[in-house]
């Protein structure tokens, strides 16, 4: 019984996935071209940073990088909570 339900669900969701593949845009044609063009042509002139990836990470998308730094901080906190010593008697 569970096997039949599983097979039906797999077929339905697999079909939906294959149907959705039809509507993604083709390879090599990105969706938001004006933004890419702006970064490629203005990042070096505005910020004089040769590494455009870094200038996007720390300047244009600086607010996201706070989240990235917070993720690392949270990871350290959770590792500390898992692996710290027990209370000394």
Footprint on this chain of another protein (rule: CB under 8 A): 44-51, 53-55, 57-59, 62-63, 65-66, 68-69, 72-73, 75-76, 79-80, 82-89
Least separation in angstroms between CB 82 and another protein: 7
Choice between 16 and 51, CB closer to another protein: 51
Least separation in angstroms between CB 36 and another protein: 19
> CA-based angle 37:41:54, to the nearest 5?
95
Q: Alpha carbon of 8 to those of 1, 2, 3, 5, 16: distances in Å?
A: 11, 10, 9, 5, 12
């Amino acid at each position: 019984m569970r096997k039949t339900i599983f097979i039906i669900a797999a077929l339905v969701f697999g079909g939906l996935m294959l149907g959705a593949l039809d509507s993604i845009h083709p390879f090599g044609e990105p969706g938001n071209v004006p933004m890419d063009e702006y970064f490629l042509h203005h990042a070096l002139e505005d910020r004089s940073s040769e590494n455009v990836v870094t200038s996007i990470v720390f300047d244009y998308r600086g607010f996201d990088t706070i989240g990235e730094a917070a993720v690392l901080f949270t990871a350290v906190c959770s590792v500390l909570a898992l692996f710290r010593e027990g209370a000394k008697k």
